[in-house]
Chains A and B, each alone.
Chain A
Amino acid sequence: MAAPSDVNEINISSSPHFADNWSTAKIMLAVIIALMPLCVYGIVLYGLSAFITILVSVASCVVFEFLFQKLTKQPVRVGDLSCVVTGLLLALVMPPAIPFWMVILGAFFAIVVAKGFFGGIGANVFNPALTGRAFMFVSFPIAMTTWSTPFADAVSGATPLVSHGTDYMSFLLGNRAGCIGESSVLLILLACLFLIAMRIIDWRLPLSMVATVALCTLIAGGDVLAAVMTGGLLFGAVFMITDYATSPVTPWGRVLFGAGCGLITFLIRNFGGFPEGVMFSILIMNVLVPFLNRIVPRKYGYGKKKAAKEGK
């Protein structure tokens, strides 16, 4: 009997015996691709300082991830590219002219404190990039609110939410002062469509957040278009609340999470002490994720009456 085991090395494992060819790294790569146009456009608008900020942020995130995993004797997972995504996200929500050493501190806080200390990829409670930004926001409030005007170097201007500017065309194209990646509504929407089409993000999250802000603004009698298109709302709704580890996994959990982020954003913007509320709204809602995950879909075979009706 020539059993094949005589000549071959046979693997044993539980089923299923093959898998789809997605991987964590491929998902992260898709997000990086979606962020690229925003990076390039940010550099075009704000010049070399934006480029340096992006570079420093990504590089320090990668280095901190590597060092932390080495020091704590964990398997090094830099290859999953999640630290690159964190680096890009962190840079894109910075003012272009931020001093680079502040960016390094922010990256440290994002990767080591917000992610590493909580158990690494998938286990963190708070969005790493936003935690890093929040740390910088409270530590360096002036540097974090010094905005550059496009095509000029480090000219201070007020944030659009404060200045009541309502030039919708400039919001769409992003030809205005603001964070590196948050300015162009058009590019963010394109990235959003790309990520939804690639099934990387769930449409429920951005839609529920933006819709909630729009609805609240409408009820309050504000300028709905300006509320949606300005500040960090769209960037946060597309890239920040869709972070897997820090958002719910269930469909209705996601809807409520997005709606909660939208509601708190609206409240902070209109009644809070800061002009912009996206960052804190998301960080607050991050805490609620385990509870929102309890809102699970109806399981197959439960709720007989409805099932019986469908059969008829």
Chain B
Amino acid sequence: MRKFTFKGGIHPPEMKELSKDKKIECAFPSTKSVCIPVTQGGAPNQSLVNPGDYVVRGQVIARSDAFMSAPVHASVSGTVKKVENRLVTANVEAPCIVIESDGSDKTEYLAPLDPFACTKEEALARVREAGIVGMGGAAFPTHVKLNPPAGKKIDCVLANAAECEPYLTVDYRTMLESADKVVDGLAITVKITGAESGIIVLEDNKLDLVEVLSGAIDKHAMKDKLGVTVCKTKYPQGGEKSLIQAAVGREIPAGGLPADAGCVVDNVGTLVAISEAFREGKPLIDRSFTVSGLSCENPCNLKVPVGTLVGDLIPEVIHLKPGVAKIISGGPMMGFAMINANFPVQKNTSGVLFLTAKEAPAYEENPCIGCGRCLKACPCALTPVLMNRALTAGNIDEAKKFGLMDCVECGSCAWVCPAHVKLVQRFRVGKNIVRAEAAKAKAAAEAAKAAASKGDK
């Protein structure tokens, strides 16, 4: 039998025991107000509300007409206080809508919709109206994912349940506590995409879930199409490229999307949101996430309204120990180090970590010794050491040849590097240079075209 795994990868310490036995608890910010980023995945949205407006939980407060966008909803009922730029994940300022809750539990959800009775268009519209984006981290609008261009046949939906980032346990808890919703969301996704099968892809460090999920599948009407696959535990299993290689043995062609390999990959959190959007008409307004790290006294899994400032949960819900050296939005391998905790929980926030200086040391970068460990670690079979040498020499074309634009920034190479060379950081800079140059070339070509057509007249 084929081994369910992918090439390359690493085994960082899992650190999941800190929070894996903690139930997902509901929490509410101490200030009774939320700060909801106007855009959370996809093209930039426009705010639909003004300070002073009264909004109800579930009401759309920001949207865009662009196809590649997802609306944002009010996660609490109350009064809009401000619409202003605030610090968000990735350490940038972005427009946010600040709503002060009036404490009421009024809601304004969509009407429930039977996913197995409605048309594909109705179903896709529902996924979009519910503001569903990829909750694993990338925040890619889900309705776009479920509607690949004509000619690309989807035969397999993969539920990404690998949760390969250390510390994070929210997907594990979600599957344990809401297995029925995960399975239902998967079945709905299979129905929408017309796929032949839906597979929940686990790592073999979560074997206790197999029974839970199989039980939930047996209860579902579409059980014949659904299944569970267990892969060898390895980071970055949850990356789309690695997950598809491990679960179905295919590769996404360079520059392509999972649809090019006949697959749709959805995080289990996203599947729960899809199920709720149809069965309850509930948009994506609550987010479960893991709070962990050795500087956190009570590692836990929380469920909060989207837009809750992490700082507003301290110290009432999250108790910290002195000695926080790093605050991370996301996981330790790919998450963002934040300058403080006053950033909102977004649709794609899977975890917030408070790490000590010992857990997240500030490494000094040493010269590359050419050991080649990064080659073995890379899940995309790239050559990080040579990409790095090309980039430090300023040779972008050479770096592209060695795979710069195929890099998924998973951090495996930097994790194994004995000299602590800042590989991922340099690749990000390199990719941005390439993208900026491409944009510049495009703009120049368009300007030339415009000038030419002007000359014709």
Q: Which residues of A contact B (CB under 8 A)?
A: 1-5, 7-20, 22-24, 26-27, 77, 80, 82, 120-123, 199, 202, 244-245, 247, 249-251, 293, 296-302, 304, 307-308, 310-311
Q: Judging by beta carbons under 8 Å apart, are B418 and A299 in contact? A: no
Q: Jot down 25 A-B pairs with beta carbons below 8 A, ordered by A.
A: A2-B311, A2-B315, A3-B314, A4-B340, A7-B322, A10-B326, A10-B337, A11-B325, A13-B362, A14-B422, A14-B424, A17-B332, A17-B337, A17-B355, A20-B12, A27-B369, A122-B369, A202-B372, A249-B371, A249-B375, A296-B383, A300-B380, A307-B250, A310-B249, A310-B250
Give the CA-CA distance A249 to B383 in the complex, in Å: 8
Q: Which residues of B contact A (CB under 8 A)?
A: 7, 10, 12, 31, 91, 241, 245, 248-256, 261-262, 309, 311-312, 314-315, 320, 322-328, 330, 332-342, 354-355, 357, 359-363, 366-373, 375, 379-383, 385-386, 402-403, 406, 409, 411, 414-420, 422, 424-425, 428
Nearest CB in chain B to that of A245: its residue:
B370
Least CB distance from A2 to B in Å reads 6
The interface residues of chain B lying within 8 Å CB-to-CB of A23 are: 366, 418-420
Q: Contacts A11-B360, A121-B367 hold; do A1 and B31 have CB atoms under 8 A apart? A: yes
Nearest CB in chain B to that of A26: its residue:
B418
Which of B10, B314, B325, B333 lies in contact with A9, CB distance below 8 A? B325
Q: Judging by beta carbons under 8 Å apart, are B254 and A299 in contact? A: yes
Give the CA-CA distance A107 to B309 in the complex, in Å: 61
The interface residues of chain A lying within 8 Å CB-to-CB of B326 are: 10-11, 13, 17
Least CB distance from B372 to A in Å reads 4
Q: Contacts A1-B31, A245-B370 hold; do A12 and B339 have CB atoms under 8 A apart? A: yes
Q: Contacts A4-B327, A202-B372, A301-B380 hold; do A311 and B249 have CB atoms under 8 A apart? A: yes
Q: Contacts A1-B311, A121-B369, A300-B245 hold; do A16 and B411 have CB atoms under 8 A apart? A: yes
Q: Judging by beta carbons under 8 Å apart, are A22 and B418 in contact? A: yes
Give the CA-CA distance A304 to B262 in the complex, in Å: 13
Give the CA-CA distance A13 to B375 in the complex, in Å: 23
The interface residues of chain A lying within 8 Å CB-to-CB of B324 are: 4, 8, 10
Least CB distance from B341 to A in Å reads 5
Give the CA-CA distance A98 to B322 in the complex, in Å: 60
Q: Judging by beta carbons under 8 Å apart, are A15 and B380 in contact? A: no
The interface residues of chain A lying within 8 Å CB-to-CB of B380 are: 299-301
In the complex, the 5 A-B pairs of residues with the closest C-beta atoms, listed nearest first: A16-B411, A14-B425, A5-B340, A249-B372, A300-B380
Least CB distance from A127 to B in Å reads 12
Give the CA-CA distance A297 to B384 in the complex, in Å: 12
The interface residues of chain A lying within 8 Å CB-to-CB of B386 are: 249, 293, 296
Nearest CB in chain A to that of B314: its residue:
A2
The interface residues of chain B lying within 8 Å CB-to-CB of A18 are: 12, 332, 355, 359-361, 415
Q: Judging by beta carbons under 8 Å apart, are A301 and B251 in contact? A: yes
Q: Judging by beta carbons under 8 Å apart, are B383 and A19 in contact? A: no
Give the CA-CA distance A24 to B406 in the complex, in Å: 28
Least CB distance from B403 to A in Å reads 5
Q: Contacts A1-B31, A19-B414 hold; do A300 and B379 have CB atoms under 8 A apart? A: yes
Nearest CB in chain A to that of B362: its residue:
A11
Q: Judging by beta carbons under 8 Å apart, are A15 and B383 in contact? A: no
Q: Judging by beta carbons under 8 Å apart, are A4 and B320 in contact? A: yes
Q: Contacts A4-B314, A4-B354, A10-B339 hold; do A24 and B369 have CB atoms under 8 A apart? A: yes
